[in-house]
C-alpha cells in the first residue's frame, strides 16, 4: 500500500468529538440572535507535545474568519465560544497546532543537568528567532533580544530563569508557528433566527369566531377588535388557522358530520373553492388588504400574525382542474381523500408528491409562502409536514430563508419521534411536542429532561400547546378550571415557546364530542362560536400574570437551564430555570393534581443555586406576590389547586450591605 | 435555489442512526471469526407508508452482496445480523424501500365502505400484476391468478378475504418493487480477526532469564525448556520482550543505574548494536533459526510466540550511521534521549517521524514486521505506539493486514484515554488498559462497564495485565500472595484477553525498587533473574485452574455480556458473564481485600438469568469444586482471602426429567 502523502495540515493532530455537531455536520444547529455558541472538541497529538487550539466562525458568505482561543478542559478536551449577532447562517470550525515553544518551555522546567539546560536554551533561542522572523517591529526586536539572552555566556540556570519569563511566553503565544496547523475536516453551520424563534407566546384563534352574536360571521376586521384583549394577556404571536376559501364538495357539517347544512361554514383546512386557493382570502373573512391591515395593527400591539399553511385541497380547489397531475387518481377516476389515522378528512384531497410535475408542484408551494411573506407575514405554522417528503421541506425552508432569514416555520407534526426530529433537523424553526399528552410527574420529568438536556436540543426547539382545536386532552376534560391553570403554568415555565388555542383555553372549554374523544363538542373547526370573553371566571388575568412573569424573568425565556428537583409527593413537580449569570433564578412548584391539596418537602441543590446552607433565603411567589423565608435544602410546600395550583418563585439570595443592613436581592 | 434532482434512490426514505458505526464510518468495527454483527438503524418515511428493510454484507473484494431481512423493533428502529466466517474485511450497509403492497394491505383491512373496498381491490390487483411481471413461472401465473380473483365480479368483502390471504402476502414479500429503494449513504467496515484476537491468555517472559543458575545467560533454546510449564498453566501466547542486540553506549546497569558493569546485560529495549538492529537476534539469545525453532515448538504446545516491536534505537543501532536523517539532531550534534515522563531512557534514541525521509523510514519500519512475519511470528506487542504518529500506524497496520490479515497487534499505550482510543480505532487489534491501576470496587465497576457496555467496545479490545516488567502496583506490593490471586481472577474473568509477566507473577514477586515506586527491585529489564519456578508456594496450579475454567466456559471467552451485581460489602465484587444462548453462566464473587475475611449478601437479577424465584438453583464453585444451593435473589457469601479470595461459580439451573428425578444442568 502506498504511503499516504503528508497532507497540507499537520497530520499528527486529531480533532474529533466536536460538539455541537448534528449527524456529522449534515444538519445545522440553531441559535437566536445574541446567543452564544459554546463549542467543545477533543484535540490531541501523539507523544507529549502541547497544542494550541482556536475556534473559527464567520457569517455565511463572509470570506474572513473570526478566531477565538479554545482553552483546555483536561483530558484533551477544549472549549471556546462565540456569539451570533445577526440573523442568518454562520459557519464554525476548529484549528489546532503543535505549540513547539510551549512544549519546549514545559520540558525546560524539568531539566536538571547543566549541559541539558544549556542545550535546551540553544534550541529555545532558535524557536524565538523563528518567531521573530514571523512578525514585525517592535516585536521582532524584542524577540531577538530574548533569543540573545538565552545564548549569552552565563550560568545556564540563570539563563533558564529568563527563558521561563511569563512575558516571553505571552509574546511567543501571539506569534505561534501555524504553518503545519490542522483544520477540522468539517465546517459546521449555525442557523440564527430572530429572538421570537426562541421565546414566543402564541395565541391561536379563528377569526370567523370574532363575533358577539351567534349566527354572525367574523372577519379579519372583527379580529382586530380582539387585539387589545390578546395583547393584554401578554401574547406576542397571533396565529390564524387557514384563512383561504373553503370548498363546498363534501363539506363537513357541525361536529364533523359527513354532510353540511347550507349555513355550515366548513373546515378552514378544506382549502380552495372557485374563490381561489392557497393565495386567496376567504371572501367572508375579507380581502388581502384586510390581512395586511390586521398584520400592521397587530404589530402595533406587539403581536406578529402567524398563518397556517396546510398543503392540501378541497375537491373544489383550482389546482384540481389546473394541475390534475398533482393528485393521485384511482382506477375509477376519483382521488382518495386525506387521512391522518385515525382521522379521516373526506373533504380534503392530499397532494401527490410523487407527481411527474415535481418542479411545478414544489415551486408553486414555495410561492405560497413567498406570497404571504409579501403581505407582511413571516411566521408560519405548517400543518402535517410529516405527510410530505423530507427533501421537499429541506429545499423549501432553505430556499425561503436564504432570502428571508427572519421567517419562522413551526412544524405541526404530531407523529413518531424520529420523523418529528428529522423535520426539526432539516429546518423547521420550532416543533410541536408531546407535551399535550404528558401529564404525570414522571412523564413530564422524563420528557423535558430529554427535550432540554440531550444533544437534540441543538436543533429541536419545542413549542408547547396545552390545547389545540384538535386536541382536548382528558386531563382538561376532567380537571376543571384548576387543570387549565396547571397546564398553563407548566407550558409557560417548562417552555420558552408555548401557545394556547383561545378563547377556548381561557374560558376552559372542556366538553368532548363524546366520551373517549379528544375532539371538542361543537368544535370551531366546523362551526362559528361566539365566545363570551368577558366572562368573570375567565383565566384572562391569570394568563396575563403568568406571561408578565415570563416577560420579566430571563430565566423563563430559555429552555436549557431546566433542572428538576425532588419532592416527596408524586403530585408535586418542582423545577428551576436560571439565567446564564445566575442573577435570575426561577423555582416552580406545581400541584399536578387538579382536585386535592397536596403538600411535601422540596429538596434544592443549594450549591448549584449559590445558596449557603446556614443562611436563610427568600422565595418570592410572583403569582401571589407572597414571600417565604426558607433555609437549607429541604423546605415545605402546600398547594390547594382551587386557590392556586402553583408557585412561581423568584429566588432572592441573602446579601449584606456595608452597614450590615440585611436585604434580599 | 434550484430544486434538487430526484436522486436515483427513493429520496423519501431516511436511514440514519446506524449502529455499530465508528465516527460516521471513518473507522471499522472489529469482530473475530464466527462472531455475529448485529446491525440496527432507524429507517422511516414521511406519511404512513410501510417499509421493507434489508442488511447487506460482503467480504471485501467480493462483488456480490449477501442480504438478510431486518425486522422492525418499533419506533422506526430495525435490526438484522450476519456472521463473519473468514478473517479479513467485510463491508455492510442497509437498503430500505416503500412496500406498497404491505401499505395497501394494512389500509384494506381498515376499509368499511363497499365502494372503498371495491376500489382498493382494483388497486391491489394492479400491484399484484406488477409483481407478476417482475418474476417468472410458476410465480407469475400464481400471482396473476390472485389478481384475477381480486377483480372478479363478487361481493367486495368476500374478495377482501382473498386479498388478505397470508399466503399472498408471503408471495408478494418475495417480489417487492425495489426500483426506488434507498441505500444508506455509507458502506461500513468490519475487520475480522482470528479467534485469538478475542480470547487469548498471554505469558510474558525474558528468554535470557530461562536459566537455572545465577550468572548464566538464557537463550531461545533454553526458553524452549519452559514451554511445557507455560502450556500446562493454560497460556496460549508466549510474549518475548525485544530479542535484538542491545547497545553498549549509555547501557543501563542493574536497577536502572546510569552506568553498567561489564557483565550487565542492558535493557532489551535499547535496541541495536554492531551485531544488528530490529531484524537481528541478540547473539547470546541465539539465531534466527533458533527463533523459528522456538515458534514451531511453542505451536506444538498450543502457544503462539509474540514479539515486542519497539521503534527506538540504542545509540549503537546501525540506523544511526546509515540513516542519520531518522533522528533529530540537536545544535551540539547530539540526540535527545527518549522519555516517557516521568521515565527517562538515557540508553535510547527516539526516531524522528518528522524526518524528510518519510518514505524510507516508514517502509523500513513496516519491513521490520514483515521480516518477523516471515520467521513465522504473527502476534506483535507494540511498544509505546502513542509516541509515533497516528497516520503511520494506520498505514502500517492496514498495509500488513491486507497481506497478512491474521496478524495481531497489541498496543502498549499507557497514556491518555483519547490517544489510546485513537490507536484502537486506527487498527490495533488489542489494547493495554488501565486495569493495572483499577483496584477498588467502584473503579473496577465503572471502568469495566465503560469497556464492555459503551460503543467503544466495537473497536477497543482490552487486554488486561495485573503486572508487567514496568509496573508492580502498590496493591501487589502490600497484598501478598492473596493479592496476586485476586488480581489474577479479576484479569482472567473480567477480560477474555489477559496476560501476566512471569515467573514474577506466579512467584508473587512484590518488592519495589523503592517506596512509592512501581518498578521492581532487581528488575529483569536490567539483569538476568534465575527464577525457581518449582517453588512449592508458586501460584502455578492456581493459574492453571483458572485458565482451565476459562477454557471450559464460553462465558469467559467474550467481554460483552459482563454485568455487575450488588453486594452489600464494599470489598466484595460480584459479576456475571454468559454465553449468547445463556447455556453457560459464570458468576464471579471476589473479595478484593487481600487481608481480611469479608462476607455479604449478593443480589442477582433472577429473571435475566432465567432463574425462578421459588426454585432453588445450584452455584458450583469451579475453583474449589464446591456446590451451594441458593434460592431467590439474595444469597450469602463469605470469602477468606488466605484460603480462597474468590468464587468462580457456574450457575446450574434446576430442571426436571420425565421421571421427575431432579438434577441440575
Cα B128 to chain centroid, rounded: 48
Mean pLDDT of B608-635: 94
Residue A56's CATH number:
2.60.40.10
Q: Is residue B280 included in any domain, yes or no?
A: yes
Q: Is residue A28 included in any domain, yes or no?
A: yes
Residue B156's CATH number:
1.20.58.80
Residue B608's CATH number:
2.60.40.1180
As a whole number of angstroms, the distance between CA B438 and CA B431 comes to 16
Name the catalytic one among B383, B470, B524, B527.
B383
Domain boundary among A553, A585, A610: A553
Cis peptide bond prior to A540, omega within 30° of 0: no
Q: Which residues pair with A276 in a beta bridge?
A: A273
For chains A and B, what is the number of CB pairs under 8 angstroms? Answer: 119
Report whether B601 contacts B568 (CB < 8 A): yes
Q: Is residue B457 included in any domain, yes or no?
A: yes
ipTM here: 0.93
Mean pLDDT of A553-564: 98
In this predicted structure, the answer to whether residue A660 has a pLDDT above a threshold of 50 is no
Span of A426-440, B63-77, B112-126 with lowest mean pLDDT: B112-126
Please name the residue ranges forming H helices in B501-610.
540-552
Percent of chain A with pLDDT over 70: 97
Question: How many alpha carbons lie under 13 Å from residue A167 in its C-beta half-sphere?
Answer: 7
Cα B619 to chain centroid, rounded: 28
Model pLDDT, residue A9: 46
Q: For A48, which residue in chain B has the nearest alpha carbon?
A: B387
| B21 chain-A contacts, CB cut-off 8 A | none
Reported as a single tens digit per residue, the pLDDT across B499-526 is 999 999 999 999 999 999 999 999 999 9
Q: Quick one: B382 and B515 in the same domain?
A: yes
- Best mutation target among B3, B116, B362 (most A Cβ atoms within 10 Å) is B3
Please name the residue ranges forming H helices in B495-615.
540-552
Name the catalytic one among B412, B509, B524, B559.
B412
Inter-chain contact B46–A389, Cβ cutoff 8 Å?
yes
Buried b (16+ CB within 10 A) or exposed e, A78-102: bebebebeebbbbbbbbbbbbbbbb
Of B644, B663, B664, B638, which is closest to residue B653 (Cα–Cα)?
A: B664
As a whole number of angstroms, the distance between CA A402 and CA B99 comes to 36
Reported as a single tens digit per residue, the pLDDT across B218-269 is 999 999 999 999 999 999 999 999 999 999 999 999 999 999 999 999 999 9
Model pLDDT, residue A7: 59
Count the neighbouring beta carbons within 10 Å of the beta carbon of residue B66.
Answer: 15
Inter-chain contact B422–A14, Cβ cutoff 8 Å?
yes
Q: Quick one: A106 and A79 in the same domain?
A: no
- Write the burial class of residue B113 (CB in 10 Å: 0-12 exposed, 13-18 middle, 19+ buried): exposed
Q: Quick one: A53 and A161 in the same domain?
A: no
As a whole number of angstroms, the distance between CA B394 and CA B417 comes to 18
Of B157, B154, B155, B129, which is closest to residue B143 (Cα–Cα)?
A: B129
As a whole number of angstroms, the distance between CA A532 and CA A246 comes to 26
CA distance A5 to chain B (A): 9
Q: For A44, which residue in chain B has the nearest alpha carbon?
A: B419
Q: Quick one: B328 and B425 in the same domain?
A: yes
Select the residue of A12, A391, A418 nearest B42 (Cβ to Cβ).
A418
Question: DSSP string spanning A159-180?
Answer: HHHHHT-HHHHHHHHHS---TT
Range of the domain at A133: 101-174
User: Which residue is associated with the grid cell 469497556?
Assistant: B451
Report whether A631 contacts A616 (CB < 8 A): yes
| A75 chain-B contacts, CB cut-off 8 A | 416-418
Q: Quick one: A533 and A658 in the same domain?
A: no
In this predicted structure, the answer to whether residue A67 has a pLDDT above a threshold of 70 is yes
As a whole number of angstroms, the distance between CA A252 and CA A347 comes to 7
Q: Is residue B558 included in any domain, yes or no?
A: no
**Domains identified in chain B, total number:** 4
Q: Is residue B576 included in any domain, yes or no?
A: yes
Inter-chain contact A1–B399, Cβ cutoff 8 Å?
yes
Mean pLDDT of A281-296: 98
Report whether A316 contacts A249 (CB < 8 A): yes
Q: Quick one: A456 and A314 in the same domain?
A: yes
Q: Is residue B1 included in any domain, yes or no?
A: no
Of B580, B583, B582, B587, which is closest to residue B564 (Cα–Cα)?
A: B587
CA distance B46 to chain A (A): 5
Residues in chain B: 665
As a whole number of angstroms, the distance between CA B329 and CA B323 comes to 12
B581 Cβ partners below 8 Å, 6+ apart?
none
Q: Quick one: A81 and A106 in the same domain?
A: no
Question: How many alpha carbons lie under 13 Å from residue A542 in its C-beta half-sphere?
Answer: 23
As a whole number of angstroms, the distance between CA A431 and CA A424 comes to 7
Mean pLDDT of A445-471: 98
Q: Quick one: A132 and A234 in the same domain?
A: no
- Best mutation target among A3, A121, A385 (most B Cβ atoms within 10 Å) is A3
As a whole number of angstroms, the distance between CA A577 and CA A494 comes to 9
CA distance A418 to chain B (A): 7
pLDDT top residue among B116 and B537: B537
Domain boundary among B553, B572, B604: B553
Q: Quick one: B309 and B402 in the same domain?
A: yes
Extract the runs of DSSP E, i.e. beta strands, from A493-608: 497-501, 563-565, 572-578, 585-591, 598-603
Span of A531-540, B175-184, B452-461 with lowest mean pLDDT: B175-184
Q: Quick one: B506 and B378 in the same domain?
A: yes
Active site annotation includes B506:
no
CA distance A390 to chain B (A): 6
Residue B252's CATH number:
3.20.20.80
Reported as a single tens digit per residue, the pLDDT across B261-320 is 999 999 999 999 999 999 999 999 999 999 999 999 999 999 999 999 999 999 999 999
Select the residue of A16, A46, A331 nearest B386 (Cβ to Cβ).
A46
Domain boundary among A496, A529, A553: A553
Select the residue of A3, A12, A330 nearest B362 (Cβ to Cβ).
A3
Q: Is residue A639 included in any domain, yes or no?
A: yes
Q: Quick one: B382 and B500 in the same domain?
A: yes
Inter-chain contact A3–B363, Cβ cutoff 8 Å?
yes
Question: DSSP string spanning A9-34?
Answer: S-TTEEEEEEES-BTTTTB-EEEETT
Which helix (H) or strand (E) covers residue A96, if one does? strand A88-98
Reported as a single tens digit per residue, the pLDDT across A599-656 is 999 999 999 999 988 889 999 999 999 999 999 999 999 999 999 999 999 999 865 5
Question: DSSP string spanning A286-337?
Answer: --HHHHHHHHHHHHHTT-EEEEEE--EE-TTSHHHHH-GGGS-B-TTS-BPP
Inter-chain contact A416–B122, Cβ cutoff 8 Å?
no
Mind telling me the catalytic residues of A? Answer: 383, 412
Inter-chain contact B46–A12, Cβ cutoff 8 Å?
no
**Dihedrals φ, ψ of A119, to 5°?**
-65, -45
The grid coordinates of residue A116 equal: 541539558
Reported as a single tens digit per residue, the pLDDT across A381-432 is 999 999 999 999 999 999 999 999 999 999 999 999 999 999 999 999 999 9
Average predicted confidence (pLDDT) for chain A: 95
Model pLDDT, residue B220: 98
Select the residue of B12, B23, B330 nearest A16 (Cβ to Cβ).
B23
Q: Quick one: B45 and B146 in the same domain?
A: no
Q: Is residue A506 included in any domain, yes or no?
A: yes
CA distance A128 to chain B (A): 15
Average predicted confidence (pLDDT) for chain B: 95
Model pLDDT, residue A340: 73
B506 Cβ partners below 8 Å, 6+ apart?
B233, B484, B500, B533, B538, B539, B540, B543
Amino acid at each position: 500500500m502506498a504511503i499516504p502523502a503528508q497532507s497540507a495540515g499537520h497530520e499528527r493532530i486529531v480533532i474529533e468529538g466536536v460538539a455541537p455537531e448534528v449527524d456529522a455536520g449534515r444538519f445545522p444547529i440553531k441559535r437566536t440572535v445574541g446567543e452564544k455558541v459554546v463549542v467543545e472538541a477533543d484535540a490531541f497529538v501523539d507523544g507529549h507535545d502541547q497544542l494550541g487550539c482556536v475556534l473559527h466562525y464567520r457569517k455565511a458568505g463572509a470570506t474572513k474568519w473570526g478566531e477565538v482561543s479554545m482553552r483546555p478542559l483536561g483530558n484533551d478536551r477544549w472549549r471556546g465560544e462565540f456569539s451570533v449577532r445577526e440573523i442568518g447562517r454562520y459557519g464554525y470550525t476548529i484549528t489546532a497546532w503543535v505549540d513547539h515553544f510551549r512544549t519546549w518551555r514545559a520540558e525546560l522546567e524539568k531539566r536538571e543537568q547543566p549541559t541539558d539546560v544549556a542545550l535546551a536554551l540553544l534550541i529555545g533561542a532558535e524557536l524565538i528567532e523563528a518567531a521573530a522572523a514571523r512578525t514585525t517591529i517592535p516585536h521582532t526586536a524584542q524577540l531577538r533580544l530574548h533569543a540573545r539572552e538565552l545564548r549569552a555566556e552565563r550560568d545556564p540556570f540563570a539563563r533558564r530563569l529568563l527563558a521561563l519569563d511569563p512575558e516571553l511566553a505571552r509574546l511567543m503565544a501571539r506569534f505561534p508557528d501555524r504553518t503545519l496547523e490542522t483544520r477540522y475536516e468539517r465546517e459546521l453551520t449555525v442557523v440564527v433566527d430572530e429572538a421570537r424563534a426562541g421565546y414566543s407566546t402564541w395565541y391561536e384563534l379563528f377569526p370567523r369566531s370574532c363575533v358577539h352574536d351567534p349566527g354572525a360571521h367574523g372577519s379579519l376586521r372583527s379580529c382586530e377588535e380582539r387585539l387589545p384583549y390578546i395583547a393584554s394577556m401578554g401574547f406576542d404571536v397571533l396565529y390564524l388557522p387557514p384563512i383561504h376559501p373553503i370548498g363546498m364538495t363534501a363539506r363537513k357539517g357541525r361536529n364533523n358530520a359527513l354532510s353540511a347544512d347550507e349555513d355550515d361554514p366548513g373546515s378552514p383546512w378544506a382549502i380552495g373553492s372557485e374563490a381561489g386557493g392557497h393565495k386567496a382570502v376567504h371572501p367572508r373573512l375579507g380581502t388581502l388588504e384586510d390581512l395586511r391591515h390586521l398584520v400592521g395593527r397587530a404589530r402595533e400591539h406587539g403581536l406578529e400574525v402567524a398563518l397556517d399553511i396546510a398543503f392540501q385541497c378541497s375537491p373544489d380547489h383550482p389546482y384540481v382542474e389546473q394541475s390534475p397531475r398533482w393528485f393521485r387518481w384511482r382506477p375509477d377516476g376519483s382521488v382518495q381523500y386525506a387521512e391522518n389515522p385515525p382521522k379521516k378528512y373526506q373533504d380534503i384531497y392530499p397532494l401527490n408528491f410523487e407527481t411527474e410535475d415535481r418542479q411545478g408542484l414544489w415551486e408553486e408551494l414555495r410561492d405560497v409562502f413567498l406570497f404571504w411573506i409579501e403581505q407582511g407575514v413571516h411566521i408560519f405554522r405548517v400543518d402535517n409536514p410529516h405527510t410530505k417528503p423530507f427533501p421537499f421541506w429541506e429545499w423549501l425552508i432553505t430556499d425561503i430563508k436564504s432570502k428571508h432569514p427572519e421567517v419562522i416555520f413551526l412544524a405541526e407534526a404530531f407523529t413518531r419521534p424520529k420523523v418529528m426530529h428529522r423535520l426539526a433537523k432539516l429546518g423547521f424553526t420550532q416543533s410541536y411536542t408531546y407535551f399535550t399528552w404528558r401529564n404525570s410527574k414522571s412523564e413530564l420529568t422524563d420528557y423535558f429532561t430529554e427535550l432540554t438536556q440531550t444533544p437534540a436540543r441543538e436543533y429541536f426547539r419545542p413549542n408547547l400547546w396545552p390545547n389545540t382545536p384538535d386536541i382536548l386532552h382528558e386531563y382538561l376534560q376532567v380537571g376543571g378550571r384548576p387543570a387549565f391553570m396547571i397546564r398553563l403554568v407548566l407550558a409557560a415555565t417548562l417552555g420558552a415557546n408555548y401557545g394556547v388555542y383561545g378563547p377556548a383555553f381561557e374560558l376552559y372549554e372542556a366538553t368532548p364530542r363524546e366520551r373517549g374523544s379528544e375532539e371538542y363538542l361543537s368544535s370551531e373547526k366546523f362551526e362559528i362560536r361566539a365566545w363570551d370573553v368577558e366572562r368573570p371566571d375567565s383565566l384572562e388575568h391569570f394568563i396575563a400574570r403568568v406571561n408578565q412573569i415570563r416577560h420579566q424573568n430571563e430565566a423563563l425565556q430559555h429552555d436549557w437551564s431546566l433542572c428538576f428537583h425532588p419532592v416527596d409527593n408524586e403530585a408535586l413537580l418542582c423545577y428551576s430555570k436560571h439565567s446564564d449569570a445566575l442573577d435570575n433564578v426561577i423555582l416552580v412548584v406545581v400541584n399536578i393534581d387538579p382536585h386535592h391539596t397536596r403538600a411535601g418537602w422540596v429538596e434544592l441543590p443549594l450549591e448549584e443555586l449559590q445558596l449557603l446552607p446556614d443562611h436563610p433565603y427568600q422565595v418570592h411567589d410572583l403569582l401571589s406576590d407572597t414571600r417565604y423565608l426558607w433555609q437549607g435544602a429541604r423546605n415545605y410546600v402546600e398547594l390547594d389547586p382551587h386557590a392556586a395550583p402553583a408557585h412561581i418563585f423568584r429566588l432572592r439570595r441573602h446579601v449584606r450591605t456595608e452597614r450590615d443592613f440585611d436585604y434580599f436581592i
